[in-house]
Amino acid sequence: MSQLNETHDASLRSWVPGANDAGGDFPIQNLPFGRFRLAGEPDWRIGVAIGSQVLDLRAAGLVDHADMARLLALPPAERAALRLALSRGLRDGSDRQPGWSACLHPQDGVELGLPCEAGDYTDFYVGIHHATAVGRLFRPDNPLLPNYKWVPIGYHGRSSTIIPSGQPFVRPRAQVKAPDAEAPVLAPTARLDFELELGIVIGQGNPIGEPVPMDRAEDHVFGITLFNDWSARDVQAWEYQPLGPFLSKNFASTISPWIVTVEALAPYRRPFTRPEGDPQPLPYLQSQANAEAGAFDIQLEVWLQTAAMRAAGQPAECISRSNFADAAYWTVAQLVAHHTVGGCALRPGDLFGSGTLSGPRPEQAGSMLELSQGGKQPFRLSNGETRTFLQDGDTVTLKGACDKPGAARIGFGACAGEVRPAPRG
């Protein structure tokens, strides 16, 4: 697991504009990776966010290519060396400033795309408070199924419809069946939902047939992003038995443009523990390092701006707050170890969704399904509007940050998407 070193020093300052602003997402202690391109360019470049700027890694001479998959596949020691070179070159007083200044571009002046191409995508279900709250809607006396505390639950999703932050998507149409109807109909979903998740980006792959053990699992993780797995709850209710989600999940999933590396997250690790009385994981899902520091303290928020709010010039409103470490029943390392225990081969850029990360209190819900109690209790926004599920024109923005005394605050940027009306027909 990544260790603290000079790149995490909270007193470090950068010569880059905006990098030293209080409350900013991208100080020199962060240095997340992503892809960008200039106006009129067909090809993506690899960049690192610093302050309000993005540094072109190839132009700065830090890499000799623009292939994000190659960068993701770097061994941990080479990743750490690249981070150190970036940190030293971007610090106040660095002799790199004259040359690297020409390699910077304002973030608001470039196109930010998918941080990498995801060849495969697996969505997990690690949020125990979400699993319990949703299970209680359908099974009040037995909300968690018997396997939940033993095995990291997941399903394979659709990577072709992972879209970058800021790209709108259309309300999907699929089969839905009302409880009192004799037959289903093809219709736009009436119960469109967001899901507050994190995306775990795989770095190094593993050969087919060779499981990744717990003590090397994080060597195969490049970093973490924000992730919104949009969901059609009425479609899901009709289709999910017996094989799980299909069209209810495959129409759009939004990812933020920056991958915050596991190295950057080193100051924000927490011990991983299970509640007293819960079963301990099977041996292949245990390690001393995971118990001591396997959880990540990442604060999460959901912001909603309706079309009416936007038209009136009103800002988005925060409707939920939670924390990854408090919400997740399984760690990042455990997800990698479990995914590969049967011999599955991971590849650079593969993406894991964490599953919805709700807190223990109702106002910490990471989905509309929970906030509205399955659509039974509309919640009121500050402008007087109410919501049970998302309406056309709604924009949902996820935010994340790590902040604690003695360490520099680092952020994840924003993960935003707007709902557009379903196509006619």
Catalytic annotation, residues: 130
Q: How many CA atoms lie within 13 A of 125 on its CB side?
A: 21
Cis peptide before 283 (omega within 30 of 0): no
What backbone phi and psi angles, to 5 degrees, belong to 370? -80, -45
Q: Which two tokens stand for residue 348?
A: 């650079």
Q: How far apart are CA 248 and CA 246, in angstroms?
A: 5
The 3-state DSSP composition of the chain as helix, strand, coil percent (nearest 5) reads 25, 25, 50
The answer for residues whose C-beta is within 8 angstroms of residue 70's C-beta and 6 or more apart is 348
**Could you give the dihedral angle defined by the CA atoms of residues 415, 12, 267 and 253, in that order, rounded to the nearest 10 degrees?**
10
Q: How far apart are CA 401 and CA 412, in angstroms?
A: 6
Q: How far apart are CA 187 and CA 185, in angstroms?
A: 6
Residue 75 DSSP one-character state: -
